[in-house]
Structure 1
Amino acid sequence: MTEKGLSSNKKTALIVSGMVVGMIGMSFAAVPAYRAFCSVTGWNGTTQRAAAGADRTLERKVTVRFDGSVSQGLDWKFHPEQVSQTMHIGETSLAFFEAVNLSDKPITGRASFNVSPAKAGLYFKKIECFCFTEQTLQPGETVSMPVTYFVDPALAEDGNLDDVQTITLAYTFFPWEDDSADDGAGDGGSAAE
């Protein structure tokens, strides 16, 4: 092989190695980037956080249905305390979910969430929610967990949402074992707001 051929092979090897390192780096950045994108756009039913309620209330009403489940490995019972609430768009509402630790030891869980139809995610705003942080239940403990929310009046200005009369807010609780591994699952994606 000639010296020129060796140089070309080294150059190719460096380029391929650089591409592999870059692809690995991008794979680690993909999850946080996806969650940030979902949080900003409401993509995939990701709800939004709000510091306060809406500035106006509309005549148009919407029904919010509730759903709750637990993942495998979490010895809890979790369900909404109400099936649904009907309110005016822009009106602040309060809903409750009940969680029960069925085990004989303390267990920490964290809820992921989304809304459907997914296109309503950008307009579903939570002011306070148990899903913003992990929750620890003592053995046999039963707690009522609140969520304060509203549907943004801007929904009525989006022609793509003229058909939305019902929004489902769903939570799934997962075991939470490593507090230092907080990846923002409850802050804007499926899991944050």
Structure 2
Amino acid sequence: MSVKKSAVADEIFDRLDTNGDGILTSEDYRASAEQFLQSYGMGPSSPKGRALIESNQALWERQAELVDRDGDGRIDREEYREWFDSLPASAAASGVPSGSPEVMAVLHAQFSVADRDGDGVMDLHDFTLWRDLKGVPEPNAAAAFALIDSDGDGAIDWRDFTGAAAANGLEALLYGPQRG
């Protein structure tokens, strides 16, 4: 695995490893969802909260199926790196198969939570806040927003996001078009 690819794998692994024990479990994926919800002052029993937790659990189940070689219900760093190294370059950029149903469900649920007023659209402020919570610097988030807001009206909806993902790749929308 290249040094850059290994660094990206480790960055994603560390972000997923919410308790910092060096092992990914379903509890990490649930905790990640709950932490995200707390950032927005939302509880796990709210409709948006349930949707995010359920989508994170579905993502965990799919990743466990693909990555957990020994079937122990845990993914260690080495298993994650080996799986990550097996991904095509376009999928490895985001750490998961780009556009997989599970990934898109998590992103849609996060998008819904980040749309604080519930009108189905985010402005630049809402979008940069969402990405900041995932460790993306404001300039990178602003550049990603510009890719998504193709009509320049200052607002994006989920269809804008998915259309831009198809045109520009998911990594550019999640981390900014000039990542690393």
TM class by shorter chain equals under 0.3
- Alignment TM-score, normalising by the size of structure 1: 0.23
Give the structure with higher Rg (CA): 1
* Structure with greater proportional helix content: 2
How does the TM-score come out when normalised to structure 2? 0.24
Bigger relative contact order, structure 1 or 2, given CA contacts below 8 A and separation 6+? 1
Q: Which has the higher strand share?
A: 1
